[in-house]
C-alpha cells in the first residue's frame, strides 16, 4: 500500500504520524503492508495554498526536521518519495499506483482530501482494524536512559515528562505555564523526577521560565530521542498537542489535558461534535494507563488525575459524586469541572461517571457539551437506568428546561441509535449543536393546559413573549395576554428560546431540529 501525503491539503506537522497509523491499519486489514510514502507538493511553494501559519522557510524546515524524521520513526521500513511538482507526482501515481492500493482509499490528486482526523481513527476501530503501537529505537532508548540516570538519579517513584505547548499558532491551546510549574513542584515533593520538554518554537528561551527545573531540550530537535524519552518515563503529561501522538500510538503511559479550546476551530466543542468524538471518550484502543482528561490544565485537575492514575485501585464513584456535589454547593466551579472530568476518566462505573460529568457540566451552563456526553453514553450503550438515576441528582442545579431536554434525549436511546428511528440520528442531532447563548425571552410551544402550566412555572412569566402552535386557526389570537404565533415565527426569532410544553414533545423536537433550530435554543417544560 502507498500513503499519499498531499501537502496541498495536509500540514507539515505531527499529522503525518496519524496518517501513517491509519494507513498501516488499513494495509494490515487487507493482509498487506505500507511500503511507500509519497510526499506530494502543495500548490504554494510546495505547501497548502490557504495556509499562512508559518513562513515558507519555516515550512521547509518543518518538512525536513519534523515530517521526514516522523516517517523514519513510524514507518522505518518504508520507501519515501518526493516530487518537484504535482504533475510529476501525478505521472508517477498513474504509472505505479493503482487507486485501490492508495491511502486515503481511492486518492485522486485532482481532488485531494485529508483523511487523518479523529473520525478516521474512530472509523478504523469500528471496522475492527488494529491501530499500530510504535516502539522507540534501541539506540535512542539507550541515550534517553543514560541522560535520566545522570540527571535524575534519586527519582524514587520514577520519571514524569511534561511536554509544553508554547507556540504562536492557535495560542489559546498553549500550556498554562504557571499551573505546570506548580504541578512540577508537587510531583517532585512526591518523589518523582520531572523532565520538562519545552515547545520547539521556544526551546532556546525556555530555560528563563524554568530556572529550577530539569529541562531537556534535545528531544525538541531529535524525534527519536523524544519518542525514547516517552517510552522511558513512568508517566507522560501533555495538553492537546502534536507530540502526544507518539504516546497515543504506543504503549507509553500518558495523561492528556485541555482537549477542548473554545473559539479554536480545530479543538472546540463543535469540532469534536463534527468528528463524532465526544467529551469523556478515551483515545481509540488506549489502555487503562493512557487517559484523556477532558478539562483544562489547572493544578487541581492535573494533580487529581495523577493521584487517580497512580492508584492501583482508583477512588470509587461515590467519592467523586460527594466531591462534586460539595463543590457545586460551595459554588466552586473549577473544582466541580475538575473533579467530574477525573471521575469520567477513571471511574469503573462508567454509566454513573458520565451522568455525573453531564450533570456537572450542564449545571455550569455548558449545555452543548453536556449533550455530547449524553450522546457518548448512548454510543457506548451504557445503562440508561443507571445514567438517569445519577443524573437526577443534578436536576435542581441545572437551568430550567435543560435537564428535561437531556433526560428526553437519553430516554430515546433505542430510537436514536437506529438509522430509521423516529428521531434524528446521532449524526444529524450532533450537527445541530452550536455555540451556547443566553436567551432573555422565550416562546412556549403549546397552547393547551400544558402551555398554561408552563407559563405559571416560569420564574419570570414576563419572559414569555408569546405562545406557538401549529394550528393556523389560533394564529393571531391571544392567551393570557400573549400572542399565539406560527412555529416558524418562533423559529425565526433567533434571540428567543423555545420551551416545549406539549404531549407531542418528541415530534415537536424533531420538527424544530429539522428546521435548523440549534439544540441550545430548545428546552422542555417540567410538567
pLDDT tens digits, residue range 4-21?
999 999 999 999 999 999
Residue 422 clears pLDDT 70, i.e. is over it: no
**pLDDT given for residue 96 in this prediction:** 92
pLDDT tens digits, residue range 327-353?
999 999 999 999 999 999 999 999 999
pLDDT tens digits, residue range 281-333?
999 999 999 999 999 999 999 999 999 999 988 999 999 999 999 999 999 99
Q: Is the peptide bond before 104 cis (omega within 30 degrees of 0)?
A: yes
Q: Which DSSP state fits 129?
A: P
**pLDDT given for residue 420 in this prediction:** 38
Q: What are phi and psi of 192, to 5 degrees?
A: -90, 145
Residue 408 clears pLDDT 90, i.e. is over it: no
Closest CA to 294 of 284, 310, 283, 285: 283
**pLDDT given for residue 423 in this prediction:** 40
Residue 61 clears pLDDT 80, i.e. is over it: yes
What does the block give as the cell for 207?
Answer: 530555560
| pLDDT average, residue stretch 470-493 | 92
Residue 428 clears pLDDT 70, i.e. is over it: no
Neighbouring C-beta atoms of residue 312, cutoff 10 Å? 4
What does the block give as the cell for 420?
Answer: 430509521
Contact 84, 41 (CB under 8 A): yes
Element (DSSP H or E) covering residue 37: strand 36-40
What does the block give as the cell for 347?
Answer: 471511574
Dist. CA 24–CA 448, nearest whole Å: 60
Element (DSSP H or E) covering residue 103: strand 102-103
**pLDDT given for residue 435 in this prediction:** 38
**pLDDT given for residue 5 in this prediction:** 97
Residue 373 clears pLDDT 80, i.e. is over it: yes
Q: What is the 3-state secondary structure (H, E, C) of 138-200?
A: HHHHHHHHHHHHHHCCCCCCEEEEEECCCCCCCHHHCCCHHHHHHHHHHHHHCCEEEEEECCH
- Average pLDDT for the chain: 90
pLDDT tens digits, residue range 65-124?
999 999 999 999 999 999 999 999 999 999 999 888 999 999 999 999 887 899 999 999
Closest CA to 160 of 258, 213, 237: 237
Burial 105-139 (b: 16+ CB within 10 A, else e): eebebeebebbbbbebbbebeeeebebbebebbee
Q: In terms of DSSP bridges, do strands 192-197 and 158-163 run parallel, antiparallel, or are they unpaired?
A: parallel
CB < 8 Å & 24+ apart, contacts of 97-102: 97/2, 97/4, 97/38, 101/1, 101/2, 101/32, 102/1, 102/2, 102/3, 102/4
Dist. CA 281–CA 351, nearest whole Å: 12
For residue 498, the cross-strand partners are: 443, 522
Neighbouring C-beta atoms of residue 64, cutoff 10 Å? 10
**pLDDT given for residue 204 in this prediction:** 87
**pLDDT given for residue 524 in this prediction:** 81
DSSP 239-297: ES-GGGHHHHTSS--EEEE----TT-TTTSHHHHHHHT--TTPPPTT--TTEEE--S--
80: left (phi over 0), alpha (psi -120 to 50) or beta: beta
What does the block give as the cell for 157?
Answer: 517513584
Closest CA to 116 of 81, 70, 60: 70
Dist. CA 9–CA 5, nearest whole Å: 9
Helix then strand then coil, in percent of the chain rounded to 5, is 50, 15, 40
**pLDDT given for residue 411 in this prediction:** 74
| pLDDT average, residue stretch 407-416 | 69
**pLDDT given for residue 434 in this prediction:** 39
Dist. CA 330–CA 361, nearest whole Å: 16
Whole-structure pTM value:
0.83
Q: How far is CA 69 from CA 25, 61, 136, 220, 453, in A?
A: 20, 12, 13, 12, 66
Instruction: Tell me which of 157-161, 204-208, 362-366, 470-474 is least confident.
Output: 204-208
**pLDDT given for residue 371 in this prediction:** 86
Instruction: Tell me which of 46-55, 362-371, 397-406, 422-431 is least confident.
Output: 422-431
Closest CA to 179 of 59, 338, 310: 338
Between 428 and 434, whose confidence is greater?
428
Residue 211 — very low, low, confident or very high, per pLDDT cuts 50/70/90? low
**pLDDT given for residue 212 in this prediction:** 65
Amino acid at each position: 500500500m502507498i500513503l499519499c501525503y498531499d501537502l496541498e491539503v495536509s500540514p507539515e506537522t505531527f499529522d503525518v504520524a496519524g496518517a501513517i497509523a491509519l494507513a498501516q491499519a488499513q494495509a494490515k486489514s487487507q493482509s498487506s503492508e505500507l511500503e511507500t510514502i509519497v510526499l506530494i507538493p502543495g500548490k504554494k511553494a510546495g505547501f497548502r495554498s490557504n495556509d499562512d501559519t508559518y513562513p515558507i522557510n519555516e515550512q521547509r524546515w518543518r518538512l525536513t526536521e519534523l515530517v521526514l524524521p516522523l516517517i523514519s520513526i513510524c514507518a522505518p521500513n518504508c520507501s519515501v518519495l518526493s516530487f518537484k511538482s504535482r504533475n510529476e507526482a501525478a505521472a508517477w501515481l498513474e504509472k505505479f499506483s493503482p487507486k485501490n492500493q492508495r491511502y486515503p482509499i481511492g486518492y485522486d490528486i485532482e481532488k485531494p482530501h485529508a483523511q487523518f482526523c479523529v473520525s478516521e481513527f474512530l472509523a478504523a476501530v469500528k471496522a475492527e482494524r488494529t491501530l499500530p503501537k510504535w516502539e522507540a529505537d534501541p539506540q535512542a532508548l539507550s541515550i534517553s536512559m543514560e541522560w535520566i540516570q545522570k540527571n535524575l538519579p534519586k527519582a524514587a517513584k520514577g520519571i514524569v515528562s511534561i511536554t509544553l505547548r508554547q507556540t504562536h499558532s492557535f495560542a489559546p491551546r498553549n500550556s498554562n505555564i504557571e499551573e505546570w510549574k506548580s504541578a512540577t513542584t508537587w510531583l517532585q515533593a512526591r518523589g518523582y523526577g520531572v523532565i520538562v520538554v519545552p515547545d520547539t518554537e521556544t526551546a532556546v528561551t525556555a530555560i528563563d521560565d524554568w530556572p529550577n527545573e530539569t529541562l531537556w531540550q534535545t528531544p525538541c530537535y531529535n524525534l527519536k530521542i523524544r519518542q525514547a524519552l516517552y517510552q522511558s518515563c513512568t508517566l507522560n503529561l501533555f495538553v492537546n498537542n502534536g507530540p502526544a501522538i507518539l504516546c497515543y500510538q504506543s504503549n507509553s503511559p500518558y495523561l492528556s489535558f485541555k482537549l477542548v479550546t473554545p473559539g479554536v476551530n480545530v479543538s472546540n466543542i463543535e469540532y469534536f461534535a463534527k468528528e463524532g468524538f465526544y467529551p469523556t471518550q478515551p483515545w481509540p484502543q488506549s489502555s487503562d494507563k493512557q487517559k484523556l482528561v477532558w478539562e483544562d490544565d489547572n493544578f487541581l485537575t492535573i494533580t487529581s488525575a495523577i493521584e487517580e492514575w497512580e492508584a492501583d485501585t482508583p477512588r470509587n464513584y461515590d467519592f467523586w459524586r460527594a466531591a462534586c456535589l460539595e463543590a457545586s454547593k460551595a459554588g466552586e466551579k473549577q473544582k466541580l469541572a475538575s473533579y467530574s472530568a477525573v471521575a469520567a476518566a477513571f471511574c469503573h462505573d462508567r454509566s454513573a461517571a458520565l451522568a455525573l460529568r453531564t450533570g456537572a457540566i450542564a449545571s455550569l451552563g455548558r449545555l452543548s457539551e453536556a449533550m455530547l456526553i449524553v450522546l457518548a453514553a448512548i454510543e457506548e450503550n451504557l445503562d440508561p437506568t443507571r445514567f438517569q438515576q445519577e443524573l437526577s441528582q443534578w436536576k435542581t442545579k441545572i437551568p430550567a428546561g435543560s435537564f428535561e431536554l437531556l433526560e428526553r434525549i437519553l430516554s430515546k436511546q433505542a430510537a436514536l441509535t437506529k438509522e430509521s428511528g423516529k428521531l434524528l440520528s446521532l449524526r444529524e442531532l450532533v450537527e445541530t449543536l452550536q455555540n451556547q447563548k443566553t436567551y432573555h425571552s422565550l416562546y412556549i410551544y403549546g397552547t393547551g393546559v400544558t402551555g398554561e402550566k408552563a407559563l405559571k412555572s416560569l420564574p419570570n412569566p414576563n419572559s414569555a413573549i408569546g405562545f406557538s402552535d401549529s394550528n393556523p386557526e389560533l394564529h393571531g389570537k391571544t392567551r393570557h395576554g400573549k400572542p399565539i404565533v406560527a412555529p416558524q415565527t418562533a423559529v425565526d426569532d433567533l434571540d428567543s428560546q423555545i420551551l416545549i410544553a406539549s404531549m407531542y414533545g418528541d415530534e415537536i423536537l424533531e420538527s424544530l431540529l429539522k428546521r435548523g433550530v440549534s439544540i441550545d435554543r430548545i428546552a422542555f417544560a417540567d410538567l
